[in-house]
Amino acid sequence: MTAEKTVEPLLNIKARIAKLDRLPTMPAMAQEVIKLGSHPDASVNDLVKIVEMDPSLAAQIMRYASSPFFSYRGKVDSVQTAVSRVLGFSMVMNLALGVTTARPFKLPKNVPLNMDAFWRHAVFSAALTQALSSELADEIRPPAGLAYLAGLLHNFGHVLVGHLFRKEFLILNKFIIAEPETDLIEIEKKVFGYEHGQIGAWLMDVWKLPEELIVATREHNNLSYQGEHAVYPQLVALSDRLLKEYNIGDAPNSSVPQSLLQSLGIGDYQARMVVNRVMEGCDGLDTMARQLAS
């Protein structure tokens, strides 16, 4: 029996990351959010003070709280209102952590995996992942804020590679342009030896972000994953495939495997009703994505 030939990747990103003197440090504002989250007596007012230190972040949170799918009848005229009356402490904590973690990183322009594409996918995936999570049975339903954060940051690997290895990232994008019908994961493995979920999870692990988020990032392209915290990558995978119908994101196709729906205990019609509801607020989500990318 002939041994299968091993094809070496064109670029070994993990080896290059290992040779770095140091990985990027977590942004200061994200550190402040994590520090607050670990404080047992943290209050809504404490969180509002941190958010208001960053006018752009404050605007994003108020805009998100005004989204139609929250159905808040009043006017969201302050961060205090967004936190205390609409989103809640945990939700805003996770939204703030996600935005402040990824925002300092920049990607090259005029390539398929640019910053506009990253944030548009991130914002829509976060909203949809959170909305889908609310449909799950109580025994497996994750906290809404953590589901949102998983959707927001699951493609963080693209940002990390683009930030640290610009030349290699541009090579990846050239392959994407040259092979538009080829699955992105297949191209990444051919070029880097790893896919973006694994790459993003390495840095999240170094930064000691929540294990649920690390698993969601590492496994969201692995539809057979059934390990600890499996509900997070399953929700993200479902969200990605539903969004593909709207030409958002990089899922291989818009087909939703029945096995994925069964694992989550959600029906196909039910899932599509949720995505329809989220897309009703697409103008606000698009605005949020554009501002984060700018």
| Statement: the pTM of the whole predicted model exceeds 0.75 | yes
Report angle CA 45, 132, 148 to the nearest 5 degrees. Answer: 35
Which residue, 93, 227, 96, 214, is CA-closest to 157? 214
What are the pLDDT digits (tens) for 103-132? 888 898 899 999 999 999 999 999 999 999
Residues 115 and 70 in one domain: no
- Predicted pLDDT of residue 287: 86
Q: Tell me: do 68 and 164 sit in the same domain.
A: no
138's enclosing H/E stretch is: none
Q: Is the pLDDT of residue 7 over 80?
A: no
Is position 44 within any domain? yes
Q: Which helix (H) or strand (E) holds 109?
A: none
Single residue among 69, 104, 139 that ends a domain in this structure: 104
- Asked whether residue 176 is assigned to any structural domain, the reply reads yes
Q: Are 98 and 117 within one domain?
A: no
Q: Is the predicted pLDDT of residue 6 greater than 50, yes or no?
A: no
H or E segment and range at residue 219: helix 211-219
**Do residues 155 and 258 share a domain?**
yes
Q: Give the pLDDT score at 283.
A: 84
Confidence of residue 18 (pLDDT cuts 50, 70, 90): low
Range of the domain at 97: 25-104
Q: Single out the residue in 82, 104, 126 at which a domain terminates.
A: 104
Contacts of 34 (CB under 8 A, 6+ apart): 26, 97
Instruction: List strand residue ranges (DSSP E) for 60-214, in order.
Output: none
CA 85 from chain center: how many Å? Answer: 25
Boundary (domain end) residue, out of 65, 84, 104: 104
Predicted local distance difference test score (pLDDT) of residue 105? 87
For residue 19, the model assigns a pLDDT of 66
- Rounded mean pLDDT of 58-80? 86
Q: Per the structure, how many domains does the chain have?
A: 2
Q: The domain spanning residue 133 has which CATH number?
A: 1.10.3210.10
pLDDT tens-digit readout, 132-190: 999 999 999 999 889 999 999 999 999 988 988 888 899 999 999 999 999 999 999 88
> For residue 65, with 0-12 CB atoms within 10 Å meaning exposed, 13-18 middle and 19 or more buried, which class applies?
buried
Same domain, 161 and 222: yes
DSSP 273: H
- Mean pLDDT confidence for 190-208: 88
Task: Reply yes or no on whether the pLDDT at 238 is more than 70.
Answer: yes
Measured between alpha carbons, how far is 114 from 116 in angstroms, rounded to an integer?
A: 6
Do the domain assignments include residue 99?
A: yes
pLDDT of residue 14: 66
> What is the pLDDT of the chain when averaged over all its residues?
89
pLDDT at residue 294 in the model: 81
Instruction: Give the SS3 label for residue 159.
Output: helix
Clarify whether residues 149 and 160 are in a common domain.
yes
The answer to whether residue 3 scores a pLDDT higher than 50 is no
Residues 6+ apart with CB under 8 A from 284: 63, 64, 66, 67, 68
Confidence of residue 281 (pLDDT cuts 50, 70, 90): confident
Helix or strand or coil: residue 255? coil
Angle of helix 89-102 versus helix 115-133 axis, rounded to 10: 160
> Is residue 69 very low, low, confident or very high in pLDDT (cuts 50, 70, 90)?
low
221 found inside a domain: yes
